[in-house]
Amino acid sequence: MFRTVLFFGFLTGILLGVGWFLGGFFGMTVALFLSLLINFISYWYSDKIVLTMYGAKETNDPELNKIVENLAFQAGIPKPKVYIVPTKIPNAFATGRSPKHSSVAVTEGLLELNKDEIEGVLSHEIAHIRNHDILISTAAATISGAISYLAQIGYYSLFFRDSREGGNLFGLLFVIIFAPLAALLVRLAISRSFEYRADYTGAIISKKPLALASALEKISSITKNHPMRGSAATSHLWIVNPFKSDWFTNLFSTHPPIEERIKRLKKMAV
């Protein structure tokens, strides 16, 4: 809870600073009301925003729901809703504000892995829910996504605005200030230890560390050759970073090396 309060407090501080920079006391007052609105939306609706962002649809697939139900039972949490993301690239993420209000989303491509590997991946996502990682992760994705969007607008203004209009200066300020702030927001909220802990907890829940290790290896290999499209600020949600590696995406990188994750999982099976 302390981490969540700190995160939303940091967000409010950023917005107040931006408001002061743009409009003095009046701008800061507007930013205060805006921050309260964003905090409210982030708490109650950030999961729906992320699911909508990737076109995820709730599924009644009996086999997939049964796997999730069994894993949730083993983890001692209510069964999350299950969603399908329409892309052939294998991956998955968990979202929601609490174990009682949670969802897991898997891509169509993930369903092409074998059953043990699917179970391994889902156990990792169930572990995130059990470990109460999902609220802060989902809120960080939506809020940082909005900030990074502003940064990208500023970046493109460098090329399409007349320098005499001050476009280059303000564009540069957006890139220099807002993109790192958005990235910092994610990094403060999301630790690399989250993934290690979810791998470990998930492997215990499913009792199949090698299946999870195999799935991670396959997902990573496919993603390198076929990266997804989406907001870099949501990369930490996915079990493997699904986006093409570049300077902007790397700002938001919170995943530990896949090789180290696989190594740790294989040690658990010994």
Out of 69, 125, 217, 259, which one is annotated catalytic? Answer: 125
Catalytic residue check, 125: yes
| Nearest C-alpha neighbor of 198 from the set 241, 114, 142, 255 | 255
- Cross-strand bridge partners of residue 51: none
Residue 59: helix, strand or coil by DSSP?
coil
Residue 82: helix, strand or coil by DSSP?
strand
Q: Phi and psi for 52 in degrees, rounded to 5?
A: -65, -35
Alpha-carbon distance of 253 to 44, in angstroms, equals 25
* Cβ(75)–Cβ(63) below 8 Å: no
Look-up: residue for tokens 């907001």? 231
- Cross-strand bridge partners of residue 39: none
Q: Is the dihedral of CA 158, 161, 165, 170 positive or negative?
A: negative
Alpha-carbon distance of 86 to 121, in angstroms, equals 17
Catalytically active residues, by annotation? 125
